[in-house]
Structure 1
Amino acid sequence: MKTKFLLIVSMFLTTTINLNAQSFNIATFNIRYDNPKDSGNLWVDRAPIVSNLIRFHNFDVFGVQEGLKNQLDDMSKALPEYARYGRGRDDGKEAGEHSAIYYKKDRFKLVKSGDFWLSETPNVPGKGWDATCCNRICTWVYLEDIKTKKKFYTFNVHFDHQGIIARKESGKLMVLKIKEIAGNEPVLLTGDLNASRESEWYLSVANSGIVKDTYTDVKYPYQNNSSSNGFRIPRGMTVIDHIFMSKQFKATRWGILTDTYFGKYPSDHFPVTATVNL
């Protein structure tokens, strides 16, 4: 009888530990906006490939950059197991590119969500500092793991590609906004920073003490080339798409996914993914 009791207790403890130690896959993916000039790489052809890639690699939570409303709708239709949140950068509604976040509906529950712009006035749509081309937006969600009841924030962002000051200030703003919104809660940050690991704005985030790069936790990162490709064979090893995490997380895998179809790429960026444990 005593042996049977100890066995039951042991099984209960093992189950509890496994529940509390559940890992999940986080990813960042610049899907390239639906540009009619992308001859040979049009969205209508890439859309099913992008969705197939996401499902096969089993992303649990992922942030996309450059997604126009029609692209996000295509992905949601192809991936009904995911819910999404994110507003358009141009008007705070549906216009312009989105930095939307997708998450598995059967695994996570949305608790809170929001957006802010990378500018001196982050609460309203607008360009920031020396940015000349585009508004830039950051989207965030506060998710609860349905099984473990653990909660965490995920932020997703796309930094400017031209303004040097805009990128430097965006790095500082991200740190401030994460502190303001998430406080001491667990945090993940995905995004296209338009910068390598040597840039000032990357370092302002990575060395902030608030989050660090998941890449640095992993003994054998899967990095065979750069994270962007321009729809051509990539050259060099520069990574501009990043996944950061707060101290409550541990990363066990990190990689750049270089999937192709008929020799073509699903986007002009490769998705970057990490397996994390909260």
Structure 2
Amino acid sequence: MSLSGPRPARRRWFLSLLAALAVAVSSVVVLTGQAAAGDARVRVMTFNIRLDADAPPKDWASRLPLVKQLMRKHRPDLLGIQEGLWHQMRGLDGVLPAYDWVGMGRQGGTRDEFSAIFYRKDRFEVLDFDHFWLSDTPNVIGSATWGNKITRMVTWAKFRDRRTGSVFYHVNTHFDHQSENARVKSAQLVLERARAFEKDVPVIFTGDFNAAAKKTQPYAILTGPDAFADTWETARDHGPEIGTFGRWTTPVPGGDRIDWILSRGRVTTDWSEIDPFQKDGLYPSDHYPVVAHVKIGK
């Protein structure tokens, strides 16, 4: 297109062109914003981040940059973590500025490991939250009565999705790795507590259950009648099924899924995957994260 002609005319034409482009760009931004606001998908991740107990390069300082890359890859809206020590929680807080979280150490306050829930603070409003311990005295901080030597607990939160208006619960936990009795009783207690939540409000349940899906009594309890659904099984599509306890190495096809994302109520799952993400042979954890794309209340 020629710009020949008197200088004032060219200037007026150029300004008109800029104005038209500004209107067009503004329209695209508005439309994009409306599309995002109407997107009902919630990306849920469960991830045992591995406590900081290993020598370099498996120490937390070496792994935190990989965790950051993993979060950028999946952009979870909700994240249930396990085994986070207080300094690891602060590290996650630093690399996840778009998130807030709820949680408490297993021995109360900042002491011992967290099973915390991270959430996008621009999208979700916390309506309520609490903790309970997996024992015969669930309201006693640090209690353990079922033969497990390590204290186990649950963190839960009730959210409102500002994007869709949906209200739901998110429950997160880490079952014991040694005592089968503790795992069974933990499953029974969590199911009992979930049934006492507000009726007809959907529930998302994330965790490291230390029990193989489809093969163990805790799984049978939690996916039985009037219980939860396994989003891996209900997903319209999913990636390869591999064992989620990676042990710092390449995945085992058909291995045991001990990290799950369960759901209850009006939740549909579009996609689920287990991600054996690594860089230069270093994994962010000895567990692989599990991700599910769900719609809640739809």
Query: Same fold by TM (over 0.5)?
Result: yes
Alignment of 1:42-53 (within 5 A): 42-53=59-70
Structure 1 residue corresponding to 2:275, chosen from 234, 257, 260: 257
Of 118, 131, 138, the residue aligned with 1:122 is 138
Moved over 3 A (4+): 15-21
| Structure 1 position 248, deviation (Å) | 0.4
> Matches of 2:129 and 2:43 in 1, distance apart?
20
Listed as ranges, the gaps of 5+ residues in structure 1 are: 1-14
CA shift at 1:224, angstroms?
4.4
Percent of paired sites with the same residue: 34
CA distance in 2, matches of 1:245, 1:216: 11
- How far apart are 1:119 and its partner, in Å? 0.5
Please tell me whether the aligned partners of residues 88 and 95 of structure 1 are also in contact (alpha carbons under 8 angstroms): yes
Deviations 1:158-212 (A, max 9, x none): 0000011000101101100111234431100000000111110011001142321
What residue is the counterpart of 1:24 in the other structure?
A: 42
The equivalent of 2:104 in structure 1 is: 87
Displacement of 1:229 in angstroms is 1.0
Contact 2:40–2:163 under 8 Å retained in 1 = no
- CA drift of 1:261 comes to 1.0
5 Å-filtered alignment, 1:7-156, equals: 22-35=40-53, 37-90=54-107, 92-124=108-140, 125-132=142-149, 134-156=150-172
In the alignment, the residues of structure 2 paired with residue 192 and residue 100 of structure 1 have an alpha-carbon distance, to the nearest angstrom, of 12
Alignment match, 1:242: 260
Q: Is the 8 A contact 2:201 2:265 kept in 1?
A: no
Instruction: Give SS of 1:274's match.
Output: strand
C-alpha deviation, 1:80, in angstroms: 0.6
Q: Where do 5+ consecutive residues of structure 2 fail to align?
A: 1-32
- The AA in structure 2 aligned to 1:158 is H
1:187 aligns with one of 178, 193, 203: 203
- Partners of 1:18 and 1:83 lie apart in 2 by 21
For each residue in 1:216-250, what CA deviation from the matched residue of structure 2 results, as whole angstroms up to 9, or x when unmatched?
A: 11243212421111112343521000001112000
Letter in 2 for 1:48: P
**Change over 3 Å in CA distance of 1:238–1:54 after alignment to 2:** same
Q: 2:287 aligns with which of 250, 260, 269?
A: 269
Secondary structure at the aligned position of 2:196 is classed as: helix
TM-score using structure 2 length: 0.83
The secondary structure found in structure 2 opposite 1:181 is coil
Structure 1 residues 48 and 182, CA, compared in 2 at 3 Å: closer, same or farther?
A: farther
Between the aligned partners of 1:49 and 1:233, the Cα distance in structure 2 is 16
Question: Which letter maps to 1:256?
Answer: I
Q: 1: distance between equivalents of 2:187 and 2:273?
A: 23
TM alignment of 1:139-178, pairs within 5 A = 139-178=155-194
Check whether the contact 1:153–1:187 (CA below 8 A) recurs between aligned residues.
yes
How many residues were matched structurally? 261
Q: Which is greater in Rg?
A: 2
Corresponding residue for residue 13 of structure 2 = none
Q: Tell me if structure 2 keeps the 8 A contact 1:55–1:79.
A: no
The alpha-carbon distance between structure 1 residues 38 and 111, as it changes in their structure 2 partners (threshold 3 A), is same
Where 2:237 maps in the other structure, the secondary structure is: coil
Task: Report if aligned partners of 1:65, 1:191 keep a CA contact under 8 Å in 2.
Answer: yes
Distance 1:234 1:17 in 2: 37
Q: Is the 8 A contact 2:250 2:276 kept in 1?
A: no
CA spacing shift, 1:122–1:62, aligned 2, 3 Å: same
Of residues 110-119 and 232-241 in structure 1, the stretch that sits farther from structure 2 once superposed is 232-241
Residue type at the aligned position of 1:30: N
Task: Note closer, same or farther for the CA distance 1:169–1:254 as it changes in structure 2 (3 Å cut).
Answer: same
CA distance in 2, matches of 1:267, 1:110: 28
Separation in 1, partners of 2:138, 2:195: 15
Structure 1 residue 17 displacement after superposition: 11
